[in-house]
Structure 1
Amino acid sequence: MQINILTHHPFEALHQNATKVIQAAIDRCFAAGGGEVVVPGAGTYMIDGIQLKSHVTLRLEAGAVLKGTGDETRYIKRPGPFELIKNQTPITGLITATGATDIAIVGAGTIDGHYEAFIYPHQGNEQHLKFYHYPRPMTVYLEACTHVKISGVTIQNAPFWTVHLVGCEDTEIDAIKIHNEMRMPNTDGIDVDRSKHTKIHDCEIVTGDDAICPKCTEETAQYGDCTDLTVTRCTLITRSSAVKFGSSSFGNFENCQFSDLVIRDTNRGIAFQLRDPGSARHISFRNISIKTKTFTKEWWGSGEPIYVTLAPRDRATDLTGQVIEAIQFENVTCEAGNGIFVYADGGTVRDLTFKNVKLALTRPFSTTTQFDLRPNEVPETVTADHIGLNVDSTSHVTCEDVTLTDCDGAKIQY
């Protein structure tokens, strides 16, 4: 079954709010055993919360824009807690699905999260926009779904996390563009939260917060670990980390591969920011270009191209037995204002391999620098009297054909 939402409703009637018509079309396809809901490229359709259902594809044609109204009370609500058990705050989503199978969002159209509705007005050139509350609506929120596809669409102007996959299995995200306001906090591109068998490829992500972020949030423990993630042929630009494991790490991350990525104008390149009792194992990064750029202090990071840290979130966090191990960096080229940083406090970092890694520093090796450990209660920063390859004494790193150069032409080889 295919339903074109303009068949019985003129665009002018849907422009102000198309929620009921789109939801009714989804429900009708679902009742019929599956189908496709087509949103023609007639312009902008304002929507409140929409819930996808099994065996239904939402197709956005070129020129079609689904834009959130900004009235969060009319979005789809999930009760709290959120991220941490102590946070009983509920979350909402603009386009959501729970427990669905064989669902898709495809086409050449656009989903607009309307972030402007959630920030204070008249902020001028403020580099870290101030917002009304935390959390704000997810633009696409999918929980416990299987056989998911998101392809071709542009998702823009998210007020919070853009695409959040919670406990999903067998997801493919390909050829999408995420274009968010880079000054907007918490606008993660794709959060892979305790999901399995996720493929992300040929995407472009430009956002304020982490571009691709594997997570294991505390309240989603029923979904287990985050495993079998593959990311390839993507361009990532962000004021936070291009790829970040954590900081919610209440489960394990295993068997993940990243390859053929272009990372530029980014506060951090590749980051392990584990702050909770979880581990990361068997993760590889190959054929990656990284150029970092520091921003204001509100954005975590200090321009590190590669950042591997395992540290307690607070004094009550017990990291006994937790590890970051069997991590490979191969054919990675970096241009950065800070060095590679490896640090462990309370857990163990071991079996890191750097092979054919080139780092060109835009400052001298002798530069005194501070490495940012947030979110970490004590200490928040670690000071080093040099930059380059900074590894604490407890971690085990193997280097093969690693070359570091600084802005004065000095060279270090491993």
Structure 2
Amino acid sequence: MEEIGLIEINILDNHDFDDISINATEAIQSAIDKCNGADGGIVTVPGEGVYIIDGIELKSNVTLNVESGATLRGSGNEERYIRRPGPFELIRNNTPISGLIFANGANNIAVTGDGTIDGNFEKFIFPDQGSEQHLKFYKYPRPMMFYFENCRDVKISNLHIINSPFWTIHLVGCFKTEIDSIFINNEMRMPNTDGIDIDRGRETHIHDCTIVTGDDGICPKCTEETAKYGDCNNIKVERCNIKTRSSAIKFGSSSFGNFEDCYFTDLKIEDTNRGIAFQIRDPGSVRNITFENITIKNKTYTKDWWGSGEPIYITLVQRDEKTDMKNQVIDNISFLNINCESDNGIFIYSSVEGAVRDIYLRDVNLKLNKPFKTATEFDLRPNYGSGVVTSSHIGLNTETTANLVLTNVQIEDSENEIISY
């Protein structure tokens, strides 16, 4: 991100927000527009205080700086958020989407500071759900906390981002994005609250972040409706902690493009339904992905959440009866120095012969919480046909893999039986 500093605007300079019920959208947006018109600047939201906002559009060469003690809280009035026409995810889903903090075609933008952005998710769910483990909501999709499309040189840094009603940060066709030192803390019972979705992004660097959420933690995607932005490649993720009821790292399930050249290292994954997952369901391929120095502790939740407690899950199957996967592959995937404790084993599966190939596991240790002989089901959702693959054992299920290379791999079950490869 280039240095920005031509003008600086504190939103309290010309506004009084002593009453926290006052909506601050106009003050913040006018400051952003002024900075953009002056070829760049910083808009500061000072602490201490809660500022109610509708949709805010970030524009080129502007930093929105939320200071420590300040909270931007979504009003919950989606009609006043920034809306983008549909379709969403699949071309047949002609559904508009919206964002609380929105940018489209902007360059050199940032949202920074030690303050908080609150998505106010309770405005989007049915009331009085008590101890329900998978909260019921009014509609799909719901507003995203951040929606940035076709942006270049993006930075999101240091913020606390909480209570998202839907995907927290959605990057669509963005180039050169850095996300660092943020803390995402969502209600873990809330579906669809992905932490960071990298949708056909290029050169994305995520580091030193903590993500606690209900759905996938970090999720590279290639949605069907964003095809004009090409593939998803050159992602680097390091020094992050992830806790979720779904997958900590997941490629897919929207996989209408290719994923290439990604590197994940020094991650701590805990209490997740799945650790590292490839959920390839559409005509796209995955190549050259490395995971290194990662600890994984799985915990199974209710069947409302996809997954069966797998620390490593690699699957390529068709989404529906019309999906043609015959030319797609998952190729050259490396797992190096991975330590796992899990309710289920490593699962690698394809419905296309030879499509999953050149999988390397080196210095991988797995401690199972059940005996090897435990019968199990591996969850294939979403998919065409049966939603599960059954097995008479847990541990290592890799029958459909071409060229699986195991080096110093050890699996121990709950009865202290050890299998080494």
Letter of the aligned partner of 2:368 in structure 1?
L
State how far apart, in whole Å, the 2-side matches of 1:397 and 1:15 are: 59
In structure 1, C-alpha distance between the alignment counterparts of 2:20 and 2:372, rounded to whole Å: 60
Q: Which residue of 1 aligns with 2:192?
A: 186
Distance in structure 1 (CA, Å) of the matches to 2:325 and 2:291: 25
Partner of 2:248: 242
1:274 aligns with 280
- Choose from 218, 221, 224 the match for 1:218: 224
Greater shift after overlay, 125-134 or 344-353? 344-353
Matches within 5 A, 1:8-407: 8-12=14-18, 15-346=21-352, 348-407=355-414
Gapped runs of 5+ residues in structure 2?
Answer: 1-6
Q: Is the CA contact (8 Å cut-off) linking 1:5 and 1:22 kept in structure 2?
A: yes
State the match for 2:3 in structure 1: none
Q: Deviation at 1:320?
A: 1.3
In the alignment, the residues of structure 1 paired with residue 190 and residue 345 of structure 2 have an alpha-carbon distance, to the nearest angstrom, of 26
- How much does 1:13 deviate? 5.5
Alignment partners' CA distance in 1, 2:186 and 2:31? 29
SS of alignment partner, residue 315 of structure 1: coil
Deviations 1:203-243 (A, max 9, x none): 00000000000000000000000000000000000000000
Q: For 1:269 and 1:123, how far apart are their aligned partners in 2?
A: 28
Distance (Å, rounded) in 2 between the aligned partners of 1:396 and 1:372: 23
Letter in 2 for 1:157: N
Structure 1: distance between partners of 2:209 and 2:264: 13
**1:365 and 1:406 in contact (8 A); partners too:** yes
Instruction: Measure the CA separation in 2 of the matches of 1:158 and 1:167.
Output: 22
Q: 1: CA distance between counterparts of 2:252 and 2:402?
A: 19
Structure 2 contact 350–400 (Cα < 8 Å) conserved: no
Moved over 4 A (4+): none
Answer whether contact 2:356 2:400 (CA < 8 A) is retained: no
- The alpha-carbon deviation at position 16 of structure 1 amounts to 2.0
How far has the Cα of 1:69 moved from its partner? 0.4
Q: Contact 1:344/1:392 (CA < 8 Å) preserved in 2?
A: no
Give how far 1:12 is off.
2.1
Q: Deviations over 1:78-130 (max 9, x none)?
A: 00000000000010000000000000000000100000000000000000000
Task: Report the alpha carbon displacement of residue 9 of structure 1 after superposing the two structures with TM.
Answer: 1.0
- Using the TM superposition, give the Cα deviation of residue 14 of structure 1 relative to its aligned residue in structure 2, in angstroms: 6.4
CA distance in 2, matches of 1:345, 1:216: 21
Distance in 2, Cα, partners of 1:376 & 1:12: 52
Post-superposition offset of 1:11: 1.9
**1:413 maps to 2:386:** no
The amino acid that maps onto 2:217 is A
Q: Secondary structure at the match of 1:12?
A: coil
- Aligned length in residues: 414
User: Which amino acid counterpart does residue 193 of structure 2 have in structure 1?
Assistant: T
Structure 1 residue 42: Cα displacement? 2.2
Contact 1:162 1:190 in 2 (8 A): yes
User: Matched residues, percent identical?
Assistant: 62
Q: Residue 305 of structure 1 aligns to a residue in which SS? A: strand
Distance 1:51 1:74 in 2: 12
Cα pair 2:149 2:172 within 8 Å, conserved: yes
Q: Per the alignment, do residues 389 and 74 of structure 1 end up closer, same or farther by CA in structure 2, a change over 3 Å counting?
A: same
| SS at structure 2 position matched to 1:11 | coil
Tell me how far apart the structure 1 counterparts of residues 316 and 361 of structure 2 sit (CA, whole Å): 18
2: CA distance, partners of 1:106 / 1:256: 25
TM-score (norm 1): 0.99
Q: Match of 2:310, SS?
A: coil
Q: Please tell me whether the aligned partners of residues 283 and 327 of structure 1 are also in contact (alpha carbons under 8 angstroms).
A: yes
Root-mean-square deviation over aligned CA pairs: 0.8
Alignment-mate amino acid for residue 257 of structure 1: Y
Amino acid at match of 1:91: I
Which residue pairs with 2:4 in the alignment? none
1:377: Cα distance to partner? 2.3
